[in-house]
């Protein structure tokens, strides 16, 4: 494959063959080596062949092989000529991250972290083998899908202020749960308010380094050792079912049309089926916002109970990293609306964008990049350059390096727990196999991922955080 080095952190696959645009990969030479080991680059090239793609297909620094689109793939499509693809969003629609700040310091919390984790474990259902605590009926579920986090706040989960500190204010207005299959609804009912398994986790963290004090202060992060809580989860079975359903509907209606990969199935954005997918996907996005809103509320309750107060536990932000949206971007000088797909990528809007809350409009949106279990995570800020360089997008996490199977063969969950404890990190999980799969050695180096983001300018470093307590579903 023709891979051209542009500078230390940017590579290009020039347009060739069926590619309608070129592909730009933001990476380092070290990260590029692992990217070359799997099908990431071929998948990125395939994306560049899709109908109506605009400007360039982008690949983020944490990229790895996905289905159809690579994970860490960003692409924008013309609304008239272009497509929307369930594979360009992923199965876990609105998988995302929410960050809460606290006014506690490590010394306030350290001795109580065992109790905090035990209570969080009790309050927040992992949902593996057990349903959520709220048995919903179908009508309530549909309301959740219309209103998202707003539904949760109206029903006593959290505070109104959380909403404006959530991407899309916690609610995509385009949602229409009328287009959800009964299977999607059925899967959604028992799982609302659950964390899920796999790479999803909940961490009590402390700030270990502040890179940009002014921006950090704007985000509510004042000092090293300040305690934060990070929640990483998505739309659970409801979102997975929406993706599966619409892949099936699209191939039944439109066929695979000579696509290089069946997972790249898509429909024209403005077609009836394209719109039905978009409205269903938006419903799943809302479900995930409500899910994280409920979990955040339970975390606050636990802090109230164990620490005596949850005052000052404001939400920093909540970001999606698997989503398609209609956004305005400047393309070759012209401002136009496009259907942007971010699959394993975080929005990175800089100062001034009207989509970000007023409180952050002068500094850029907070970007939350979770590391692998038990390692550092990062808080970045969106940039104006990102709008030019990546349709306002950056990385979403560490990105896997090793298969889960290989990780299970090499690591033992119990040993990982011991190692983490020797570093002062408490881990609570009921699933040792799952812990082994999420071993930090199975992931790319998140430090390198965020450094590339910072150096390229698609998300600038604000703070580094490390866990002191981890709940894994």
- Asked whether 431 and 472 are in contact (CB, 8 A), the reply is yes
CB 385 within 8 A of CB 457: yes
Residue whose structure tokens are 């860490």 = 72
Alpha-carbon distance of 401 to 393, in angstroms, equals: 22
Token pair, residue 18, equals 């069926």
Contact 462, 211 (CB under 8 A): yes
Which of 64, 321, 396, 454 is catalytic? The answer is 396
Measured CA to CA, the distance from residue 382 to residue 380 in angstroms comes to 7
Dihedrals phi, psi of 430, to nearest 5 degrees: -105, 5
> Based on CB atoms, which residue is closest to another protein, 412 or 433?
433
Find out whether 453 and 410 touch, Cβ atoms under 8 Å: no
CA atoms within 13 A on the CB side of 196: 23
Closest CB to another protein among residues 129, 156: 129
Q: Distance of alpha carbon 143 from its chain centroid, rounded?
A: 23
Q: Which DSSP letter does residue 319 get?
A: E
User: Least distance (Å) from another protein to the CB of residue 294?
Assistant: 18
Residue closer to another protein (CB basis): 82 or 237? 237
Q: Which residue, 261 or 385, is less far from another protein as judged by CB?
A: 261
Pairing of strands 22-26, 56-64: parallel
Of 236 and 464, the one with the shorter C-beta distance to another protein is 236
Tell me the two tokens of residue 180.
Answer: 């959800």
CA distance 318 to 451: 22
Cβ of residue 348: shortest distance to another protein, in angstroms?
23
Q: Whole-number minimum distance, CB 462 to another protein, in Å?
A: 28
DSSP code per residue over 95-155: -EEEEEEEEEEHHHHGGGHHHHHHHHHHHS---SSS--S-PPPHHHHHHHHHHTHHHHHHT
Q: How far is the CB of 13 from another protein (least distance, A)?
A: 20
DSSP state of 349: B
CA quadruple 346, 76, 60, 126: dihedral sign: positive
What is the separation of C-alpha 472 from the centre of its chain, rounded to a whole number of angstroms? Answer: 17
**131 versus 424: smaller Cβ distance to another protein:** 131
Least distance to another protein, CB of residue 183, Å: 6
The DSSP H or E segment spanning 227 is strand 226-233
The values of phi and psi at residue 6, to 5°, are -95, -50
Closest CB 80 distance from another protein, rounded Å: 28
396 assigned to active site: yes
CB of 41 to another protein, least distance (A): 13
Closest CB to another protein among residues 30, 160: 30
How far apart are CB 235 and another protein at their closest, in Å? Answer: 10
Interface residues with another protein (CB under 8 A)? 37-38, 64-68, 71, 91-92, 128-129, 131, 183, 186-187, 189-191, 196-198, 237, 240-241, 243-244, 247-248, 251-252, 261-263, 400-406, 431, 433-434, 437
Nearer to another protein, 131 or 351 (CB): 131
Q: Which is nearer to another protein, 97 or 247 (CB)?
A: 247
Nearest residue to 379 (alpha-carbon basis) of 299, 294, 439, 466: 466
d(CA 420, CA 389): 38
Q: What is the largest CA-CA distance in the chain?
A: 64
Contact 113, 326 (CB under 8 A): no
Q: Give min distance, CB of 38 to another protein, in A.
A: 5
CB atoms within 10 A of CB 383: 26
Please identify every residue annotated as catalytic. Answer: 396
């Amino acid at each position: 494959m023709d891979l051209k080095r542009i500078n230390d952190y940017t590579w290009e696959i020039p347009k060739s063959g069926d590619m309608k645009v070129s592909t730009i990969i933001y990476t380092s030479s070290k990260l590029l080596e692992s990217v070359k080991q799997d099908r990431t680059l071929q998948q990125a090239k395939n994306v560049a062949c899709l109908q109506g793609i605009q400007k360039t297909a982008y690949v983020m620094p944490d990229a790895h092989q996905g289905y159809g689109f690579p994970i860490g793939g960003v692409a924008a499509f013309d609304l008239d000529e272009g497509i929307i693809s369930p594979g360009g969003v992923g199965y876990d629609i609105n998988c995302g991250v929410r960050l809460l700040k606290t006014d506690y310091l490590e010394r306030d919390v350290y001795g109580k972290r065992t109790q905090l984790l035990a209570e969080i474990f009790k309050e927040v259902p992992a949902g593996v083998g057990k349903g959520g605590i709220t048995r919903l009926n179908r009508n309530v579920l549909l309301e959740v899908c219309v209103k998202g986090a707003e539904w949760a706040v109206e029903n006593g989960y959290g505070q109104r202020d959380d909403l404006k500190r959530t991407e899309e204010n916690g609610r995509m207005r385009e949602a229409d749960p009328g287009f959800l299959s009964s299977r999607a609804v059925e899967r959604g009912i028992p799982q609302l308010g659950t964390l899920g398994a796999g790479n999803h986790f909940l961490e009590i963290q402390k700030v270990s380094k502040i890179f940009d004090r002014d921006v950090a202060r704007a985000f509510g992060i004042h000092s090293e050792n300040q305690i934060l809580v990070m929640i990483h989860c998505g739309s659970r079975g409801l979102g997975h079912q929406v993706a599966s359903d619409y892949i099936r509907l699209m191939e039944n209606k439109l066929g695979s049309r000579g696509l290089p990969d069946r997972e790249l199935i898509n429909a024209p954005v403005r077609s009836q089926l394209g719109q039905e997918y978009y409205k269903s996907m938006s419903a799943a996005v809302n479900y995930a916002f409500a899910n994280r809103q409920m979990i955040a509320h339970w975390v606050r309750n636990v802090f109230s109970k164990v620490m005596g107060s949850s005052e000052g536990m404001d939400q920093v932000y909540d970001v999606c990293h698997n989503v398609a949206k209609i956004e305005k971007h400047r393309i070759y000088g012209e401002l136009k609306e496009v259907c942007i797909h971010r699959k394993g990528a975080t929005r990175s809007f800089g100062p001034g964008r009207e989509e970000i809350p007023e409180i952050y409009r002068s500094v850029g949106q907070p970007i939350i990049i979770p590391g692998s279990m038990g390692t550092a995570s990062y808080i970045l800020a969106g940039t104006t350059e990102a709008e030019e360089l990546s349709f306002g997008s950056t990385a979403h996490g560490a990105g896997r390096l090793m298969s889960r199977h290989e990780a299970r063969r090499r690591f033992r969950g119990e040993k990982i727990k011991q190692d983490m404890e020797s570093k002062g990190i408490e881990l609570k999980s009921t699933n040792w196999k799952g812990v082994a799969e999420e071993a930090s050695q199975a992931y790319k180096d998140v430090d390198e991922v965020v450094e590339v983001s910072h150096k390229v300018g698609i998300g600038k470093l604000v703070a580094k955080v490390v866990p002191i307590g981890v709940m894994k579903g």
